[in-house]
Structure 1
Amino acid sequence: MAEDSIKRRKFLYGTGAVGITGLAGCSGGDGGDGSDGSDGSDGSDGSDGSDGSDGSDGSDGSDGSDGSDGGSENLSLRVGTSAGGTQDVGLAVERAVSQESDALEYSTIESPGYVGTIRRMANNQFNAGITDNNSLSKAIDERGAFADQPVDRIPNYGFFAFPYSIYIVARDGTGIETFDDLAGANVYPAEPGYSTRATTLDVWSQDPTADVYDEMNIQNMGVDSAPGAMEEGNIDATIAYGTPGVRYTGFVQEIASRVDVHYVEPTDALRESAEMYAGAGSGTTSYADWPIADAEIGTDEVFHWNLEVNYTFNPEANADAVYELCRVVDEHNDVVNEGEAQFNDFAETSEMLGSARENIPVHPGAVQYYKDNDAWDDNLQEGGS
């Protein structure tokens, strides 16, 4: 790397010294690649409680995986990453770090789903991980998979990695035109255990859409069975999801290839539910920019709720290491995108905070990076001890 680049990085670390000195030792308490139909969590949200407590991948901390012993001369991040598309993103980031940083050691560690990643980070299996806002919010509030098995430590937010955006399509001939028509219909919200399913049901089951949700016949089957069930008429409507402008998950593409489907128009109630649910984002995308298998679904634009997937870090993770990773994905965003288009394309540094939430603290190393680049949002919490 060029000498002036190295000097610049050291200068940036120096400007943040007041804000991050000593923080490295502070203590603190799914969508796929379109080929396997997974949601990036390998079909599991970790609800089985698996936390890797056998220590088979470093829970003894002997390699410094808790991030507490890494000084600025030896920056290291072990990143827990689910299978499928999430792992593809993680590997693209790892390649970018290898090419563009002479200071940071980054290693990808396979992890069982987004909830499982949070559990393993709590047990020091690794000091960083890719997980989602909904799972993080549930961990903070001890809801869902964390109601009976809470964790003592919850990761800090780092930056927005990518969304899985979700909407509804119905089989032609069902008479389903709007969300309200799903009452009494056989509806498939993806495979049980998928994070996209959990987020969808969380959105639907709250007021003002709970009355429609309560009358749905929710279908429980693997994603490999869904296209055939849709073709045979056993599923009337399904969620469609993927990363806008990039691709859809595999079973959605297969359904659109085998069955004539159309867009289910959102009601005002559905829009309100999606926009008010704290664990999800929402938005719209031009269908021309994100078609399913060249299918015509009868709309120019789709409204979607989003499973927001983030890079997160244990509070003890070395602040300089987190800072350096933020720098790489920001300054060399094109290198990451060349490796995996699913990763967000940041037009400016502030977009790295695109999925940040006031209830989820931001890691001190990331906070310093955003402050140094005039991108910090004072409405957010700063993590630490």
Structure 2
Amino acid sequence: MVGSNKFDRRSVIKTMGATVGMLGLAGCSGGGNGDGEGSGGSSNSGSWTIGTSGEETATHASGVAFSSVINENSDQIQMSAQTTGGTTANNRLVDQGQIDIAQTTHNLLWRANRDEGPYSEPPVEKTLCQTFSYMTLDIFLVKRQGASSLEGVTRVEDLPEGTNISFGPRGTSAWDMANDGLGLVGIDNSQEYFNVSTMGLGDQATAMNEGRIDVCTCYTANQETLIGWIQQLDAQVDVDVLEWGISADQANSADVPVAVTDVPGDTWNQEISHDPYTALPLGYTTVIPSDISQELAYEYTEILMNNVEGVRSASAVLERFGPDFATEWLQPSGVPVHPGAEQYYKDNDMWNENLTTLEQFEG
């Protein structure tokens, strides 16, 4: 995957002083329990809020599951899940101190630690660290079969200008990855090229059923499970998957972290033309800022890794969670692993030397 570390940018941030600090904390309500424990530091206990996404999302299900397992098994951490505007917003909320930790993706962390995309103004001040991967969401677009303007369209690159489309709510990782994919097939500015409707992910099935949109973003979890609202779409609307047409070589040479994967057509109850079809997977991780103590991050990682069945039983999207999957989707460059998670991996012979430590990242 692409990426370089943030050494130069970090030194620039330090010289900007109080002005950037004020920008980065505008509207901050404070995370944790208000006395510094929630934001880590040297404390050996914490009351954390974990930011997720909308209630209908797999990301929220994972945050609720993690909170339940932590609360049942930890003497050091108490945790509650909070819905947010999405995984894109979560990194900013962690930086502002409005939440303590959050669910996000490997490529959004890469952007946040480089002050790119939605994190360019104001820049992110905290160093945001990854911990473990716990699922993928595999992004693709589907079309409504009854849309006359899309008759014969089988590939994303062939979508006509002005197509009625939804990427879901702005601020979700699915939005960003869908637009990364569009850029790779030559559609650089989707907001100008398409007629874009912004709506909740769970609203897309109804909107497509009513003919208000003809294309929408969908995803599987771990290349095998349709999320609940997409199951609703499957039951209500005749759709077909649009093939991305992006090769592994194209993905590997992209200037942002992108990968491709195959998803079997039988994930749908209805017949899909492409079997398998291509999706763009996002690796999900819990982001913990570097100012949370190594001890607490170690505790968080260890308890969840020691209670795999308790996590998996909470949601079908978490069925791959556990030590065998923990480092599979971590970003190798441009994003450090939190020292607490790093130490856990090294203690349990799970460390991958391709990963970046906080010490290497900060130089």
TM-score range normalised by the length of the shorter chain: 0.7 to 0.9
What's the RMSD between the two structures over aligned residues? 3.2
For the 8 Å contact 2:135–2:321, the answer to whether it is kept is no
- For structure 2, the 5+ residue unaligned runs are 1-12, 15-22
For the 8 Å contact 1:204–1:270, the answer to whether it is kept is no
Q: Shift in Å at residue 307 of structure 1? A: 2.9
1:6 is aligned to none
Q: Kindly provide the CA deviation profile for residues 280-321 of structure 1, in whole angstroms up to 9, marking residues without a partner as x.
A: 443122233x22xx2222343222112332111111212122
Q: Percent identity?
A: 22
For the 8 Å contact 1:199–1:279, the answer to whether it is kept is no
Residues of 1 paired with 2:197 and 2:175: CA distance? 11
- For structure 1, the 5+ residue unaligned runs are 1-27, 30-48
Tell me the secondary structure at the aligned position of residue 339 of structure 1. Answer: coil
1:267 is aligned to 245
TM-score of the superposed pair, with normalisation by structure 2 = 0.78
TM-score of the superposed pair, with normalisation by structure 1 = 0.74
Tell me the secondary structure at the aligned position of residue 113 of structure 2. Answer: helix
| Counterparts in 2 of 1:255 and 1:158: CA distance versus 1, 3 Å | same
User: Does residue 67 of the first structure (1) align with residue 46 of the second (2)?
Assistant: no
Residues of 2 paired with 1:51 and 1:286: CA distance? 45
| Counterparts in 2 of 1:246 and 1:262: CA distance versus 1, 3 Å | closer
User: Does residue 283 of the first structure (1) align with residue 261 of the second (2)?
Assistant: yes
For the 8 Å contact 1:104–1:321, the answer to whether it is kept is yes
Tell me the secondary structure at the aligned position of residue 79 of structure 1. Answer: strand
2:64 is aligned to 91
1:81 is aligned to 52
Q: Shift in Å at residue 367 of structure 1? A: 0.5
Tell me the secondary structure at the aligned position of residue 336 of structure 2. Answer: coil
Alignment of 1:1-385 (within 5 A): 53-55=27-29, 57-58=31-32, 61-71=34-44, 74=45, 77-84=48-55, 85=57, 86-101=59-74, 103-110=75-82, 112=84, 113-172=86-145, 174-184=151-161, 186-193=163-170, 194-206=172-184, 208-210=185-187, 216-223=193-200, 226-227=204-205, 229-231=207-209, 233=211, 235-243=213-221, 244-248=223-227, 250=229, 252-268=230-246, 272-273=250-251, 276=254, 278-288=256-266, 290-291=267-268, 294-346=269-321, 349-357=323-331, 358-384=333-359
For the 8 Å contact 1:336–1:343, the answer to whether it is kept is yes
Residues of 1 paired with 2:156 and 2:189: CA distance? 8
Q: Shift in Å at residue 229 of structure 1? A: 4.7
Q: Shift in Å at residue 187 of structure 1? A: 5.0
| Counterparts in 2 of 1:210 and 1:303: CA distance versus 1, 3 Å | same
Tell me the secondary structure at the aligned position of residue 199 of structure 2. Answer: coil
For the 8 Å contact 1:155–1:315, the answer to whether it is kept is yes
Q: Kindly provide the CA deviation profile for residues 188-240 of structure 1, in whole angstroms up to 9, marking residues without a partner as x.
A: 2423413311221122114x534796995242242466445534555333322
Aligned length, in residue pairs: 329
Residues of 2 paired with 1:337 and 1:233: CA distance? 37
Residues of 2 paired with 1:211 and 1:68: CA distance? 42
Instruction: Please identify, of 298-307 and 78-87, the stretch whose mean Cα deviation from structure 2 is larger.
Output: 78-87
For the 8 Å contact 1:205–1:214, the answer to whether it is kept is no
| Moved >6 Å (runs of 4+) | 49-52, 211-215
